[in-house]
Amino acid sequence: MADTERETWRTSACILCECNCGIEVQLDGRKLARIRGDRKHPASAGYTCEKALRLDHYQNGRHRLTSPLRRRADGTYEEIDWETAIDEIAERLTAVRREHGGEKIFFYGGGGQGNHLGGLHTKALQAALGAPYFSSALAQEKTGEMWVDGKLYGGHTKGDFEHAEVVVFLGKNPWQSHSFPRARPTLRALAKDPGRSMIVLDPRRSETAALADFHLQVLPGTDAWCLAALLGVIVQEGLCDAEFIAEHTAGTGPVLEALAEVPVTQYAARCGVEEDLLRAAARRIGTAASVTTYEDLGVQQAPHSTLVSYLNKLLWILTGNFGRPGTMFLHSAFAALAGGSGKSGRGRRTPVTGAKIIAGLVPCNSIAEEILTDHPDRFRAMWIESANPAHSLADSQAFAEALDALDLVVVVDVALTETARRADYVLPAASQFEKWEATFFNTEFPHNTFQLRPPLLDPLPGTLPEPEIYARLLRRLAAADEELLTALTEAAHTSRTAFREAFFAALGKEPALFGLAPYLLYETLGAALPAAQRATAPVWGLAQVCAMTYPDAVRRAGFPDGDALYDALLATPSGVTFTVDDWDDVWNYVRRPDHRFTVEIPELTEKLRELGKQGERLTSERFPLVLSAGERRSFTANTIYRDPTWRRRDAEGALRVSRADADRLGLANGCTARLLTERGSAHVVVEVSDMMREGHISLPNGLGVDHPDHGTVGVAPNDLTSLHHRDWLAGTPWHKHVPARLEAVEPAGA
């Protein structure tokens, strides 16, 4: 390759967390030789953490698949050609639908991290099969918060952390998990400013907690008592914003009454935080000019998670911290990540266990139970795309047994993952740098951004981008009327205006076609685009909907209509600002006729009152420790990093243990111990850490995957977690609160 070719910087994005920071890449053949932040990206502006710099470990390596695979009777796999794979899969899906009904075909994933365009086409296949049930990783993390959001105001909130006087992090370590643009510079600036404060609620003294002005180092699993006590102080000491409450909320009275009765002293003792520190933190929140909060998996995958989400939001609602710079906001969305707010799933339940479906998502902890039964409505087949639930969901063994019990399992992925090894067919996808891609984590305000990024490379020979995989299958299933496809294709070749009129006229005449829209656009508008841009055709449809949903905000961003927005996305690979708002516009995103927050949620107000009656703990004499399964560290990431050599340190993913627990158990740095839970056991390398409080231990995320050259390195956390420890309402698992015990096996250096 010529030196000039190697020196060219190409635009793309990181795919390791929801920030999806813009990056620039220099290629050396198919190798991602150099990576740096993209200064032109409208959100990240050149920032990226160290994890993105090693993305060649995802792109290249022996984990990549290059041919469709079919499972033999003995469990091994044979390579088959694409035509055979598509024909056989179509035939078997049709057989399941004919014998049991399309609703017995369950979908999981539909777009991995920063890999969302494939998810659009997953929806088209669901629609063609009449398969309404699906889930994703969001359903083991965010559905409790989604349900609360839906009840309160009907949308997703986030904070203006860059300008807030006080920032509160709950079960969140953004130094490692990021989740908002330029996280580390923002944290540094916050920590250095004497006029601002950071409050962290976390059992660990994490990197973020070490920067905090107030570290509320709660006992594991007691977050609800700590938040109730903070709110109790705010209400009882008159620190609420009465004017905001009167003008912008409804139904607040019962909530204030419940909080007025909170025994702050008792709850401070229950959560293990000094009362004076807790009261000081509450007063800092109640007297600040601006406050933001951020909750994450540390509280969302622990006891009382949905109640904690509610109490978190009461912190900023009752103090009036919404709709101003430095406070919380609702925002636009280029496309919905799930089935909408919690309100959208009202009344829906799973067919076997009756679990609540929130935002259209089946609770992850219920999936195995929906399969491992003789119930006539059990799921019979599963389609899994860009996801590894046999590794990432609670109780991996139970999920593996569920996959084995199905009549058909199809996996679309770049590697033979732990899930793919249970599949009947594995379809090799092009990597996220070998196809057009995008991310729908668009959560900023008043300027919101979206990046449609072109491929850096051609697909690896033998692989296909997801849009083409789904198109071939949908053609084989005869999912759309040929006359309609012909008419729309002719309109697309005529003009955009003619196509827009024909496309929306067809959807208006037959609303059921909405589900097939990504496929229809790929086949028709895509045929009129340059061949290299065909996969972007569904984005044209999203741009039309976005422009119709937020017409004023899109026009303020400089786009008179959806066509102009789509054209700008194609022409601007670093991404564009697609909506521009003023802070006064934020109330337009409150999905209530009166634009008020509906503050009382009776189910959760009752749970708040019941906290005073709850004294039980999940730990026991047999399992006296609390394990947090899935800690984010400098060299851990989601499991698309299958090659363990990407880690520069902590290669085996040590178990972090407090000094007090290590001394009591006879453990030292580098020694081997046996970690046991009610579901399984594993041998771990011990790291004695001042981060941990006594009784609390922690394993990292992202380890325990198998690699053809290195085998399995580290512990797969979900070999140790349980399906049955979960939130009463949302069903989210308690990965961060697993009763456990440790036994010394081998001293360090032995």
Nearest to 712 by CA among 624, 639, 613, 608: 639
- In sequence order, what are the residues at sequence separation of 6 or more whose Cβ sits closer than 8 angstroms to the Cβ of residue 198? 166, 167, 168, 169, 187, 190, 191, 208, 211, 212, 213, 214
pLDDT of residue 346: 52
Q: What is the CATH number of the domain that holds 713?
A: 2.40.40.20
Query: Do 125 and 168 reside in the same domain of the chain?
Result: no
- In sequence order, what are the residues at sequence separation of 6 or more whose Cβ sits closer than 8 angstroms to the Cβ of residue 74? none
Query: Do 76 and 54 reside in the same domain of the chain?
Result: no
Query: Do 505 and 547 reside in the same domain of the chain?
Result: yes
Residue 365: inside a domain:
no
Residue 144: inside a domain:
no
Determine the structural domain holding residue 17 and report its residue range.
3-59
pLDDT of residue 50: 87
- In sequence order, what are the residues at sequence separation of 6 or more whose Cβ sits closer than 8 angstroms to the Cβ of residue 405? 371, 372
pLDDT of residue 737: 97
pLDDT of residue 748: 58
Cβ atoms of 166 and 196 within 8 Å: the answer is yes
Query: Do 104 and 162 reside in the same domain of the chain?
Result: no
Three-state SS sequence of 258-296: HHHCCCHHHHHHHHCCCHHHHHHHHHHHHHCCCEEEEEC
Query: Do 387 and 307 reside in the same domain of the chain?
Result: no
Cβ atoms of 68 and 424 within 8 Å: the answer is no
pLDDT of residue 670: 95
Query: Do 43 and 88 reside in the same domain of the chain?
Result: no
Strands (DSSP E) along 202-343, which ranges? 214-216, 249-250, 291-295, 328-330
Residue 518: inside a domain:
yes
Query: Do 490 and 533 reside in the same domain of the chain?
Result: yes
Query: Do 77 and 44 reside in the same domain of the chain?
Result: no
Q: What is the CATH number of the domain that holds 13?
A: 3.30.200.210
- Whole-number Å distance between alpha carbons of 160 and 167: 9
Residue 352: inside a domain:
no
Q: What is the CATH number of the domain that holds 314?
A: 3.40.228.10
Query: Do 177 and 195 reside in the same domain of the chain?
Result: yes
Residue 315: inside a domain:
yes
Q: Would you tell me how many other CB atoms lie within 10 Å of the CB of residue 88?
A: 16
Q: What is the CATH number of the domain that holds 562?
A: 3.40.50.740
- For residue 726, give the DSSP letter: B
Query: Do 544 and 677 reside in the same domain of the chain?
Result: no
- In sequence order, what are the residues at sequence separation of 6 or more whose Cβ sits closer than 8 angstroms to the Cβ of residue 98? none
Which of these three, 38, 59, 80, is where a domain ends? 59
For the chain, 750 residues long, the average pLDDT of each consecutive 10-residue run is: 70 92 96 97 93 93 94 97 98 98 95 78 96 96 97 97 98 94 95 98 98 98 98 98 98 97 98 98 98 98 98 98 98 81 60 97 97 98 96 96 98 96 97 94 95 97 97 98 98 97 97 96 98 97 98 98 98 98 96 95 97 86 97 89 91 96 96 97 97 97 93 95 95 97 78
pLDDT of residue 740: 98
pLDDT of residue 340: 41
Question: What's the half-sphere exposure (Cβ side, CA atoms, 13 Å) at 463?
Answer: 21
- Whole-number Å distance between alpha carbons of 11 and 451: 10
Residue 599: inside a domain:
no
- Counted domains in the chain: 4
Which of these three, 553, 580, 607, is where a domain ends? 580
Query: Do 549 and 631 reside in the same domain of the chain?
Result: no
Which of these three, 580, 605, 631, is where a domain ends? 580
Nearest to 592 by CA among 250, 363, 326, 296: 250
Query: Do 263 and 392 reside in the same domain of the chain?
Result: no
Residue 366: inside a domain:
no
pLDDT of residue 6: 63
Residue 473: inside a domain:
yes
